[in-house]
Amino acid sequence: ILKTLNSWFWWENIWMPINCTWADFVDRDGLVFPKPHQLYATIPYAFVLLIIRFFSERYVAIPLAKALGIKNVRRVKPQPNPVLESYFRECSRHPSQSEIKGLAKKCNCTVHLVEKWFRRRRNLEIPTVLRKFQEAFWRFSFYLTSSIVGFIFLYDKPWFYDIWQTWVGYPFQTLLPSQYWYYMTEIGFYWSLLFTLGIDNKRKANPQGLYLIGFTFIFFCPSQDFMAHVVHHLAAIGLMSGSWCGNYVRLGTLVIFVHDTADFWLEAAKMFNYAHWEKTCNMLFIIFSIAFFITRIILFPFWILRATLYQPTYYSTTPVIAYFLFNGMLLILQGLHLYWGYLIFKILKRFIFLK
């Protein structure tokens, strides 16, 4: 069964134009092609990023937070109590008054002590401002570095200025070392986020139940937050890996660059928000908003989507299945860009007119 599924998955009509086979993707005559087995390297790269994250959060983020006036608040741990701990984990974090009385009787203590225990236990679940700052600092550092490196890798490439060049010679486009490292690092970053979901700050869904990072989206309820992130990160990794296997690397690097260039402004705004630098935070959020509208409301649809939807018809009259799969995801992504743009516009409107 696995062999059959594998043959279906790698069917040429899914990935490449007509009359092309995987045998054509053998390195030759100076041409180097992306190879699916290279994606295994993203796992060890993810662990390297985790090591870098550990040291940057510990030896850069914490001193920076102290310099900005953020203090490390130590929370008091409640006394060990197996009965209350079991009830907290399995039943409710906010027991009713009658439930508290029952637990107090069961533990042979006062109602006040049980209430105090639950209050302290709930506080342990809330991440400290310093912890939030550390995570925002890591994301800011990665997105900023990715944006700078991405620009260095792309600024001298013809397809950075002429989007038609992304399809010239496709699928026989050679893989550049810069493209390899750009992709491997980005996919490794998403693997690292997946590995640290259990210890990172837990985020709630917005009221509409929409969540977006990078390449894809999912619908979920706030109670399903952890699994939602798991599905999201796996989908993002899958989509980037798919574009790697189909040699859509030129377009893929442009999509990554367009998204990362706005994200580090938002993370910077978060950092100064945690430090209560209100004016700096507001200014950074305005810059983020401008970058967001330029990159995701203007450049993405009129530059990237134009290249993925319209231009391939000039090079092939028989679209492959991957054409519909990837463009479907990119169109959904653009729909979410518009949705998030609407939310950002509402925030800016309140900020300007309501002070």
Q: Is the pLDDT of residue 109 over 70?
A: yes
Q: Is the pLDDT of residue 222 over 90?
A: no
State the average pLDDT over residues 333-355: 86
Q: What is d(CA 241, CA 325) in angstroms, rounded to the nearest whole number? A: 13
Tokens of 40: 């295994």
State the average pLDDT over residues 225-252: 80
pLDDT of residue 205: 41
Tokens of 71: 């203090």
Whole-number percent of the chain with pLDDT over 70 = 90
State the pLDDT confidence band at 250, using cuts at 50, 70 and 90.
very high
Sign of the four-CA dihedral 314, 315, 320, 325: negative
CATH superfamily of 82-125: Homeodomain-like (1.10.10.60)
pLDDT of residue 66: 92
Q: Tens digits of per-residue pLDDT, 62-101?
A: 999 999 988 877 777 888 888 888 888 888 888 888 888 8
CA distances from 36 to 39, 46, 143, 144 (A): 6, 17, 25, 28
State the pLDDT confidence band at 212, using cuts at 50, 70 and 90.
very low
Alpha helices by DSSP H, the chain: 2-9, 12-15, 42-56, 62-67, 82-90, 97-107, 111-125, 129-154, 158-161, 177-195, 225-245, 249-274, 278-292, 306-309, 321-353
pLDDT of residue 58: 92
State the pLDDT confidence band at 4, using cuts at 50, 70 and 90.
confident
Q: Tens digits of per-residue pLDDT, 256-274?
A: 999 899 999 999 999 999 9
Q: What is d(CA 164, CA 179) in angstroms, rounded to the nearest whole number? A: 18
Sign of the four-CA dihedral 14, 19, 25, 30: negative
Residue predicted with more confidence, 280 or 198: 280
Q: Which residues pair with 213 in a beta bridge?
A: 216
How many residues are given for the chain? 355
Q: Tens digits of per-residue pLDDT, 119-136?
A: 888 887 778 889 899 999
State the pLDDT confidence band at 152, using cuts at 50, 70 and 90.
very high
Q: Tens digits of per-residue pLDDT, 20-69?
A: 888 888 888 888 999 989 999 999 999 999 999 999 999 999 999 999 98
pLDDT of residue 285: 93
- Count CB-CB contacts under 10 A for residue 169: 11
- The answer to whether 68 and 277 have CB atoms below 8 angstroms apart is yes
Choice among 2-6, 49-53, 302-306 with the minimum mean pLDDT:
2-6
Task: For CATH 1.10.10.60, list the domain ranges present in the chain.
Answer: 82-125
Q: Is the pLDDT of residue 138 over 90?
A: yes
Q: What pTM value is reported for the model?
A: 0.82
State the average pLDDT over residues 173-186: 94
- The answer to whether 321 and 13 have CB atoms below 8 angstroms apart is yes
